Amino acid sequence: MNKLFYNTVAAVSCLLAASFAGNAYQIPAHAEGALSPACKAAYLCDYATGTKVYAKEETKRLPIASMCKIMTLLLSFEAVESGNLSYDEKITVSENAAGMGGSQVFLDSGLSYTAEELMKTVAVCSANDSCVALAERIAGSEAGFVAKMNERAARLGAENTLFSNCTGLPKDPQYSCAKDVALMLRAMISHEKYFEFSKIWLEEFSHPDGRTTTITNTNKLIRSYNGCDGGKTGFTNEAGFCLAATAKRGETRLISVVIGAENSKQRFSDVAGMLDYCFNTYENKIILAANEALDERAEVRGGKCKSVAVAAKKTLAPFCKRGEEGEYTVSFELNKLRAPVSKGQEAGIAILYRDGVEIAKTPLVAMEDVAKKNWWDALRETAHEWQ
Look at residue 21 in the predicted model and tell me its pLDDT: 35
Look at residue 134 in the predicted model and tell me its pLDDT: 98
Burial (CB count within 10 angstroms: exposed 0-12, middle 13-18, buried 19+), residue 291: exposed
Look at residue 312 in the predicted model and tell me its pLDDT: 96
Least confident interval from 21-30, 176-185, 243-252: 21-30
Least confident interval from 103-107, 326-330, 348-352: 326-330
The dihedral over CA atoms of 259, 261, 263, 267, expressed in degrees to the nearest 10, equals: -70
Look at residue 126 in the predicted model and tell me its pLDDT: 97
Instruction: Identify which of 14-18, 261-265, 369-373 has the greatest average pLDDT.
Output: 261-265
**How far apart are the C-alpha atoms of 228 and 232, rounded to whole Å?**
12
- Catalytic residue, chosen from 69, 120, 148, 179, is 69
Look at residue 20 in the predicted model and tell me its pLDDT: 33
Contact at 8 Å (CB) between 361 and 351? yes
| Beta-strand pair 240-249/252-261 | antiparallel
Indicate the pLDDT class of residue 13, thresholds 50, 70 and 90. very low
Indicate the pLDDT class of residue 139, thresholds 50, 70 and 90. very high
Contact at 8 Å (CB) between 347 and 365? yes
Least confident interval from 1-5, 14-18, 42-46, 317-321: 14-18
- Catalytic residue, chosen from 40, 52, 56, 66, is 66
pLDDT tens-digit profile of 312-338? Answer: 999 998 998 887 777 899 999 999 999
Look at residue 167 in the predicted model and tell me its pLDDT: 97
The mean pLDDT value for 164-172 works out to 96
Determine what percent of the chain is predicted with pLDDT higher than 90.
80
Look at residue 104 in the predicted model and tell me its pLDDT: 96
The mean pLDDT value for 183-194 works out to 98
Look at residue 101 in the predicted model and tell me its pLDDT: 87
Q: Which domains does the chain have, with CATH numbers?
A: 2-16+287-386 (2.60.410.10), 35-282 (3.40.710.10)
The mean pLDDT value for 247-253 works out to 95
- Catalytic residue, chosen from 94, 103, 126, 164, is 126
Q: Which helix (H) or strand (E) holds 328?
A: strand 326-334
The mean pLDDT value for 20-32 works out to 47
Which whole-number Å values give the CA distances from 152 to 31, 188, 355, in the listed order?
A: 31, 12, 35
Look at residue 19 in the predicted model and tell me its pLDDT: 35
**How far apart are the C-alpha atoms of 182 and 90, rounded to whole Å?**
31
**69 among known catalytic residues:** yes
What pTM was computed for the model? 0.84
The mean pLDDT value for 293-314 works out to 94
The mean pLDDT value for 275-285 works out to 95
The mean pLDDT value for 16-44 works out to 64
Composition of the chain by helix, strand, coil, percent to 5: 30, 35, 35
